[in-house]
């Protein structure tokens, strides 16, 4: 499932009781010993800072970004690098977006729309990548598929059954409550609009209403509660409520619905050798399918074109691979997507998806091993449940049964907030001293959305492409470095920060930042390029 933290914004707010290059010798890496003497930024971020914080520098800007701007200003400058293909395995990508259309990978060995496999790679008309989902968008979660299969011998069957029962009660209950809350807000909105004689009214107008009418008093109370959550208009509050309800409804209608059939590709899910399914349309199926477009922009949105945002990496071509539905991905699709990326020239793969149940894990593990053998680095989001994934594995992963790793070319990434100190780790971010490698900016990340739009969203889904972008910079300017070397450089060159941080959003769970990942570091593009230069010379 694409990794987006669910935000239940309003539940409880409106209670039902209310009726409802310079040469490397000239470059000095960040002085680690001085970091904790850096003043913490207490002021709210400016609009520009909010839209670029992941690229800023902790020492210079007092914002814990990745020093991307500093890397371009002081190291990259006007240097020419090598083109790097980064495969984005995700939902569909708007390859016609104004900030992405010039960075999309094109398969020059394939003749567009002739219905032939011109390059004999097994995929017909794969001009910009491949769509393993075909016309599929909505899907079940893997735990639901396990139960629907009736295979009680599945090693996770009992666990899936217990979690499904708990989640079904939770989300069906939430849906009923949200339905009532939204209905009451709409009724109150209409009543106040009628009282004021206008469809659109201000917060001040509501607060100034004086009446002895008990019903109108209740309607005013309902709308006032929406303002209590920081909304400046009832329209804004209704949009937030409906967005929450949409996510909740996905759980009830698709994710947890054992009778739902989302697959439309006609392939045999139990046959990994059957690969002739899907199509070459890598775009989003609807405007709301935005995750892949946002991820692609973080990596490679066209830099300095006067539009939208700057991606982390220049010299990048995005290979679009649509394999992640609105629900849990299939292991077959992910395994084949990884192999497609490797076989068609990608040197980095970003995977901003994950799940906690799996049926054909070996297919994916074999693909991860295949990528490593072919010098391809996989960068993967750690997950958004605030869990220690040393204790509860998420999939895919490079965990080996003997406790080691499948290979040394798989990098797992946790997410941080734009504030240095105790609240630096995103409350939703998974962590793990063994199974998370690094942390990177992931919250409130401003990037591309379908149809030439831009929005800020958060998740480890956003932290992973930030790191994939740094990996692309290293592979562009130091192309002789191997995937394992690139991974190690990113881990070794990060900032080893000292604060104790709140973990999993639980203020009673405070740990040293260093205990949450294998590297104990926050990634840093500036330092990574300095170290890459040194390693490349050796």
List pLDDT tens digits, range 332-383: 999 999 999 999 999 999 999 999 999 999 999 999 999 999 999 999 999 9
> Quick check: 32 pLDDT over 80?
no
Cβ atoms of 38 and 62 closer than 8 Å: yes
Backbone angles phi, psi at 232, to 5 degrees: -95, -10
Task: Name the residue with tokens 């059939």.
Answer: 261
Tens digits of per-residue pLDDT, 153-210?
Answer: 999 999 999 999 999 999 999 999 999 999 999 999 999 999 999 999 999 999 999 9
Neighbours of 276 (CB within 10 A): 10
> Quick check: 526 pLDDT over 50?
yes
CA distance 76 to 83: 14
Say what the pLDDT of residue 538 is: 82
CA distance 266 to 459: 32
Summarize the confidence of residues 233-245 as an average pLDDT. 94
Four-residue CA torsion sign, 307, 310, 314, 317: negative
CA distance 14 to 223: 9
Helix (H) or strand (E) holding 96: none
Percent of the chain predicted with pLDDT > 70: 92
Residue 329 tokens, joined? 């991905």
Residue 116 tokens, joined? 């032939």
Say what the pLDDT of residue 42 is: 57
Closest CA to 467 of 511, 414, 509, 516: 414
CA distance 27 to 299: 25
Q: Is 512 helix (H, G, I), strand (E, B) or coil?
A: strand
Cβ atoms of 224 and 206 closer than 8 Å: yes
4-8, 239-243, 266-270, 475-479: least confidently modelled range: 4-8
Tens digits of per-residue pLDDT, 256-290?
Answer: 999 999 999 999 999 999 999 999 999 999 999 99
Rg (CA), the chain: 24
Closest CA to 532 of 496, 469, 488: 488
- CATH 3.40.50.200 positions along the chain are 38-138+269-537
Band of pLDDT at residue 44, cut at 50, 70 and 90: confident
Strand intervals (E) in 73-225:
84-90, 129-131
Summarize the confidence of residues 15-44 as an average pLDDT. 49
Closest CA to 100 of 266, 297, 261, 238: 297
Neighbours of 50 (CB within 10 A): 15
> Quick check: 75 pLDDT over 80?
yes
Architecture of the domain whose range is 38-138+269-537 = 3-Layer(aba) Sandwich (3.40)
Say what the pLDDT of residue 404 is: 85
- List C-alpha distances in Å: 314 to 67, 81, 102, 187: 15, 8, 11, 51
Tens digits of per-residue pLDDT, 294-332?
Answer: 999 999 999 999 999 999 999 999 999 999 999 999 999
HSE (CB half, 13 Å, CA atoms) of 531? 21
CA distance 324 to 390: 24
Backbone angles phi, psi at 413, to 5 degrees: -125, 130
Summarize the confidence of residues 82-110 as an average pLDDT. 98
CA distance 338 to 364: 8
Cβ atoms of 132 and 323 closer than 8 Å: yes
Neighbours of 170 (CB within 10 A): 13
pTM of the model: 0.91
Summarize the confidence of residues 472-482 as an average pLDDT. 98
- DSSP H helices, 301-435, are 331-343, 361-373
Tell me what the pLDDT averaged over the chain comes to. 92
Strand intervals (E) in 59-146:
84-90, 129-131
Say what the pLDDT of residue 2 is: 61
Backbone angles phi, psi at 394, to 5 degrees: -110, 160
């Amino acid at each position: 499932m694409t990794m987006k933290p669910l935000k239940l914004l309003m539940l409880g707010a409106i209670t039902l009781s209310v009726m409802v290059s310079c040469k490397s010798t000239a470059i000095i890496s960040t002085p680690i010993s001085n970091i904790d003497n850096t003043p913490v930024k207490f002021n709210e971020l400016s609009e520009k800072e909010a839209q670029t914080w992941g690229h800023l520098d902790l020492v210079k800007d007092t914002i814990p970004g990745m020093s991307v701007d500093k890397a371009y200003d002081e190291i990259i400058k006007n240097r020419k690098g090598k083109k790097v293909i980064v495969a984005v395995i995700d939902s569909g990508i708007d390859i016609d977006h104004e900030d992405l259309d010039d960075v999309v990978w094109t398969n020059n060995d394939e003749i567009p729309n002739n219905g032939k496999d011109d390059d004999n790679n097994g995929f017909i008309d794969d001009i910009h990548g491949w769509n393993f989902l075909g016309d599929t968008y909505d899907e079940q979660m893997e735990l639901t598929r396990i139960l629907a299969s009736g295979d009680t011998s599945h090693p996770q069957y009992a666990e899936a059954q217990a979690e499904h029962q708990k989640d079904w009660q939770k989300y069906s209950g939430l849906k009923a409550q949200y339905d009532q809350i939204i209905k009451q807000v709409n009724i109150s909105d209409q009543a106040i609009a009628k009282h004021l004689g206008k469809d659109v009214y201000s917060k001040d107008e509501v607060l100034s209403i004086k009446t002895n009418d008990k019903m109108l008093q209740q309607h005013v109370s309902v709308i006032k509660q929406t303002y209590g959550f920081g909304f400046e208009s009832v329209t804004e509050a209704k949009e937030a409520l409906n967005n929450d309800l949409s996510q909740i409804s996905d759980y009830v209608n698709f994710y947890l619905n054992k009778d739902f059939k989302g697959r439309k590709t006609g392939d045999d899910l139990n046959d990994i050798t059957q690969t002739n399914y899907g199509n070459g349309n890598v775009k989003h199926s609807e405007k709301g399918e935005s995750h892949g477009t946002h991820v692609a922009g973080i990596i490679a949105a066209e830099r300095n074109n006067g539009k939208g945002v700057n991606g982390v990496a220049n010299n990048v071509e995005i290979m679009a691979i649509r394999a992640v539905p609105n629900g849990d991905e299939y292991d077959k699709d992910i395994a084949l997507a990884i192999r497609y990326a490797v076989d068609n020239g990608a040197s980095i793969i970003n995977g901003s998806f994950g799940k906690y149940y799996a049926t054909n894990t070996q297919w994916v593990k074999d693909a991860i091993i295949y990528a490593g053998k072919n010098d391809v680095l996989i960068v993967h989001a750690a997950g958004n449940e605030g869990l220690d994934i040393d204790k509860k594995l998420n999939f895919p992963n490079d965990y080996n049964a003997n406790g080691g790793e499948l290979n040394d070319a798989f990098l797992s990434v946790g997410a941080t907030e734009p504030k240095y100190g105790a609240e630096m780790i995103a409350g939703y971010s998974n962590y793990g001293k063994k199974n998370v490698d690094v942390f990177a900016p992931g919250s409130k990340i401003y990037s591309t959305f379908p149809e030439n739009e831009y929005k800020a969203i958060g998740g480890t889904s956003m932290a992973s492409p930030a790191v994939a972008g740094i990996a692309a910079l290293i592979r562009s300017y130091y192309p002789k470095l191997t995937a394992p070397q690139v991974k190690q450089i990113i881990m070794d060159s990060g900032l080893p920060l000292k604060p104790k941080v709140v973990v999993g959003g639980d203020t009673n769970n405070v740990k040293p930042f260093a205990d949450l990942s294998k590297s104990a570091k926050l990634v840093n593009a500036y330092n990574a390029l300095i170290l890459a230069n040194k390693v490349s010379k050796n």
